[in-house]
Structure 1
Amino acid sequence: MSKKSNARSAARGAAKAAGGAHLTCEARMGTVGRLMDHLHANGYQVAGVESLGERHIALYFQTRLAAGRSKRTLQNEAAHIRGAMRAVGRAQAADSASISNRALGLAGASRLGTKKPATDAQYRAASSAAREIDPGIAACVALGRTLGLRAKEAVCSGPSLRSWEAQLLAGARITVVYGTKNGRLRDSAPADREAALAAVRFARSVARARRGYLLPGTLKQALNRYRNELHRKITPAAGIQSHALRYAYTHDRIGAYMAAGLSQREARAAASMDLGHGSGRGRYVGSVYGQLATHWE
């Protein structure tokens, strides 16, 4: 292997060693891989995360800012790099003020979201576009809107559909088992029980014709196809952004919890648990999920 390949591999190994959920590790590995590629492209022979200096990190973020990347995205990337540095015993360097967000020019970004929940009309448009593509895609869209499922959770839902139907008929929450972040099971309430039941029954009819799966192929193939269709065709046709259906679900759940007598803070915490974030992420759910931050002030 070349020095560049060795450095990239070592850096990604350090990023993985920092731990965390699978998607977090993947994002962190992607960041340090880009960092190594950038440094080698600019003539810096850095052997790995152990050899990173302040000037290397500063150069990377100057280039990323000049390319128009948002500060929130780059704050996440800075956290990825610091995490990898801590994993190789460089905690003191990772916590240095010279590579803080402020020093790197990344301070001042707001965590208030800009994405809005899908309206009922937009959801209908998304459903119509999805049905023209594939019934399995349409089933995933419906499950995402009515049960707040992530893309992977919806694609992996085939084995759970029968139990979900029974739980919904019994007036209970559904138990999400497959495709969850870090394998954490959770119980989620439907946004609208009748709509959720219809979505689950439709998904079951699709899965029965496909040997228990909503989409053919391996999990990776099915998930990539769903995400591609969602981003390239379905959301543009409906005039919505990514995650808008999940935001709409959250909007409904917070409203339902407050109508049941919970305070805004309690409602956000409860909705956060429905989404699989945990009760301590209620403020995050209210702010990052766009207009949910102020809707019930």
Structure 2
Amino acid sequence: MRAHNLYVSWLLCVVALAAPTCPPAPSISSTTIDSSPNPIGTLYPTSITGTINGTIAVVPIRYELARSIIPAQYGILKKAYTSLLPGFPADKYPLIVRSIIDHEVGVDGVALIPDFQSVHIFYPFVDLLADGYSSFVYEKYLILTGTNVAAIEGAEAYGIVAIPATFEPTNNAYAFSHFSEMGENSGAIFLNAYTNLSDCPAVTTRFEPLPFVGPWPLEFYMNVTNQPVFSNAVKCDQQITLFNTTLSEDKNAPVGLIGDITVSTPYLPSDSTFNDVYGLKVDIAFIENNLLDCSSLKGL
């Protein structure tokens, strides 16, 4: 009996040691939702429009890793992204991690679905049509607000694996915070995405603002956010992002970022941490065209 108890104690100790240790979440000093009203809803009365507020980061990963994840039948338009990213490492590929909140999504100025948060881990510059120049985004997984049925069903219509999640901070794409060990406001921007696969965040982002947008030009971010998205290639989603509205001009102009990102499996083949990643904080309006034949987007 004593031996059995010792074995149970040892087993519990092993389990405790094997359990993941989650880093403490930053404490939030402000949770003000700063998504402004949709400025284009009534300008396009027959189209789905909305706003996207959040961060978009360029994560250099090994080209061979990207090639192993993007389905083999599709080429990668390497010349297209290297021309937009001067100085980008020749052996790397620009994985995109986008942490956002969709706001006032609807038709003719009337919001039809509740605001929802999401983290996109996507692969741009994919030669879906094999024409050598039409860039598409491949997206297998989408982590998004678990209570928003319309958003989940919308993602699944393209064959995307929709992962229900909760977010910290809630109902915002990011929040300014301070880290307890620093003892003062660091001006950091952060987001944690939690799924039911683990008590630890599936994705974390931590950014500090920069006094400039670079090193990756604004034109690159405009390009990748306007590439049609596909998963099973039966249908494509076209989101036309507008960087020229009041949401992203003058005092609301895009802000450059630098920081760290963690992504757990299965969203990448192994748990990964990326340091000193450059990105952008921006609020933009969009027009969305759903469930299009991918071939109709040739040349975009």
In the superposition, the TM-score normalised over structure 2's length comes to 0.22
Larger Rg: 1
| Bigger proportion of residues as strand | 2
In the superposition, the TM-score normalised over structure 1's length comes to 0.22
Which structure's relative contact order is higher, taking Cα pairs within 8 Å and 6+ residues apart? 2
